[in-house]
Chains A and B, each alone.
Chain A
Amino acid sequence: MSNIAVSLQNLTLAYGDTIAVPSLNLDIIDGELIALLGPSGCGKTTTMRAIAGLMKPRSGTILIDGKDVTKTPANKRGVGLVFQSYALFPHLTGFENVAFGLRLKKRPNDEIVQRVEAGLELVGLSHLATRKPSELSGGQQQRLSLARSLVMEPKVLLLDEPLSNLDARLRLDMRTELQALQRQTGITMVFVTHDQSEALALADRIVLMKNGHIEQIGSPEALYDSPQTVFAADFVGFENIFSVGLNTQNEGTTIYNNTGELTLPYQANVSHLAWRPGGVVVGSGPHKGVVTGMAFAGDKREYVITTSAGKIKADVDVSVPAIQIGEDVFFDLPESSARMLDDKATQTQFKHG
């Protein structure tokens, strides 16, 4: 039986007349690393700010460690937040930035020095303690910001797009480092991101959000392999999504999108079918199309096949000889790689790029 670190109950968040998050319910388990994932405007940042106390909920309850903190001001919640832009204090050295919160709490000086040094050590910045934030690189600034929050021993640490301001290599390092820090400290971490690969790589559990609602919650594996809705499927890379027609003829299935339709030789009693580009078979099969795009991606070639049902994206291993743009190809949308989605709520067909 695991403890609940943060519990959001019927949380409604609004800016003026615009409801950003209508009635959200979410339990965050003690010690987990959880991602709030979704496109911009889905309410993930708003939710995070509400947990921090920077935004007053319209209605609903926020519990931290079982205590109702809905009315507790941000400075008394014991929640840490690492800002997207780090929000370091420009006039203070690295050491003083980290010491800021402890000095406010009027901790004895010995304790402050010891805890700040431990904090800087944890993020590997001990040698840069005397530098001002402007003299640190982006990655160092982020780690300083992390240390500043961690020394306060927050009950929950919130991270706003923690990897978005870093370049690709640093991003990978920081990802590993964040995970290690989380395991080491055991602090419950909630991070907000719009990048599905970031969420999949880092989180123990992902909360996929859309328009202020939770679309799906689950482990990275569950979300990746078994998206429950059209939106979720699209978000985790099922780029070919079709609606299933109501009338199935001769044991086949008609699938369609806003461009046209295809008939599959098998039955599917669901509302939508979806394939990853890697799940489409190219070179053989009952359907015919024209290759209208090809991009080399190292270990595979990414094709765009224009069919009677619009453009289909298909990835083929590089060992297979390249098909030139303009050539006709046969392809198959096999049952084995199809993701069957029963998403009655999504009526409109999914638009394709």
Chain B
Amino acid sequence: MGQTWASRLIIFTTLLFLVGPFIIIIFAGLSAGSSLAFPPDGLSLKWYLAVFEVESFRQSFVLSMFLAVGGTLTALVIGVPAAYAICRYNIPGAETIKIIVAAPIIVPGIIVGLALLRYLVVPLEFTVTLALFLAHTALVLPYAVRVVSASLQNLRTDIEEAAVLLGCNRLQAFTKVILPNIRSGILAAFILGFVTSFNQVPVSLFLSGPGVRTLPIDMLAYMEITYDPSVAALSALLAFLSIGIVFIAEKTLGFSRYV
């Protein structure tokens, strides 16, 4: 009995530790006062509404959406064939390729950001937006390759040969038999990539320019000047967005199989 209580306490504390900040943010955003505080200074929805009035938030939200959707789609266009090649062919150094592909998540984001700034934006005069796009694509690519590889590995190789013997050429065998069977893996990779890209801070920190900021960076900048609860409100809204996406993904795809 004592053991059960002890383990329950540990579980409860752990969960509180994980969820606590989120709860604080939600309530801090509900404050009726004009500075960020917890417990909130009275309750109101005004800061949740105020978020939508801030012009720079709207701009950076659009940029973040573009990076998350565009970067992830690009990463999938590159990653799906790469995963297919790694899984199906005896490529020399396939393991090395896998490690290199994973590099952007292993190397600290600060370094990636600095490197991109120093070697792409400054000397080659890449626009900040293009550099951001390339950075986000690279960051999401490991997820695309890994998640799609996982679902390819669960697929028998002989179904492709079966399709060929029934009259498919190689491309048809891929689109008619392989793609439909790894569809949920691709969707899972997309969602994972989207969330990763959208919440990305360290790389984007270095790649900001006049009027070009991703939403998290814009929020940081906003807080340096204005210490009102709208940032908390926005954070809560973004967290709900992520939870919503992952929840739908779990319900429709069994997302946890892939992550």
Contact = CB atoms under 8 A, between A and B. Distances in A.
Interface of A: 52-54, 73-76, 79-81, 83, 85, 87-91, 100-101, 104-105, 148-149, 152
Interface string B154-186: 011011011111111100100011001100000
20 contacts: A52-B165, A73-B169, A74-B161, A74-B164, A75-B165, A75-B167, A75-B168, A76-B167, A81-B161, A81-B162, A83-B158, A87-B158, A89-B162, A90-B155, A91-B180, A100-B176, A101-B167, A104-B172, A149-B166, A152-B166
A52 B162 CA distance: 10
Contacts of A79: 165
Given A89-B177, A91-B180, A104-B172, A83 B166 contact: no
Interface of B: 155-156, 158-159, 161-169, 172, 176-177, 180-181
Contact of A81 (B165, B167, B176): B165
B161 A54 contact: yes
Contacts of A149: 165-166
B115 to A, nearest CB: 42
A79 to B, nearest CB: 7
A85 B163 contact: no
Contacts of B176: 100, 104
Q: Most A CB atoms within 10 A — which of B159, B172, B180, B181? A: B159
B168 A83 contact: no
Contact of B156 (A52, A54, A85, A91): A85
A87 B159 contact: yes
B162 A91 contact: no
Nearest to A90: B181
Given A75-B169, A104-B172, A88 B164 contact: no
B242 to A, nearest CB: 29
B172 to A, nearest CB: 7
A89 B159 contact: yes
Interface of B is mostly: helix
Contacts of A90: 155, 159, 181
Q: Most B CB atoms within 10 A — which of A52, A53, A73, A74? A: A74
B90 to A, nearest CB: 11
A75 B162 contact: no
Nearest to B159: A87
A87 B161 contact: yes
Nearest to B181: A91
Contacts of A104: 166-168, 172, 176
Contacts of B167: 75-76, 101, 104-105, 152
Contacts of B180: 91
A148 B166 contact: yes
Given A89-B177, A90-B181, A91-B180, A100 B163 contact: yes
A91 B177 CA distance: 8
A90 B176 CA distance: 12
A274 to B, nearest CB: 39
A83 B162 contact: yes
A204 B166 CA distance: 27
A248 B127 CA distance: 97
Contacts of B159: 87-90
A276 to B, nearest CB: 38
Nearest to B165: A81
Nearest to B173: A75
Shortest beta-carbon contacts, A-B, top 5:
A101-B166, A87-B162, A87-B158, A104-B167, A91-B180
B63 to A, nearest CB: 37
B181 A74 contact: no
Given A85-B158, A87-B156, A75 B164 contact: yes
Given A85-B156, A87-B159, A88-B159, A80 B165 contact: yes
Given A85-B158, A89-B162, A101-B167, 13 more contacts: A73-B169, A75-B166, A81-B165, A87-B158, A88-B159, A89-B159, A90-B155, A90-B181, A91-B181, A100-B176, A101-B166, A104-B166, A148-B166
Contacts of B181: 89-91
Nearest to B170: A75
A105 B168 CA distance: 9
Contacts of B172: 104
A53 B180 CA distance: 25
A305 B166 CA distance: 54
Contacts of B177: 89
A53 B163 CA distance: 13
A130 to B, nearest CB: 17
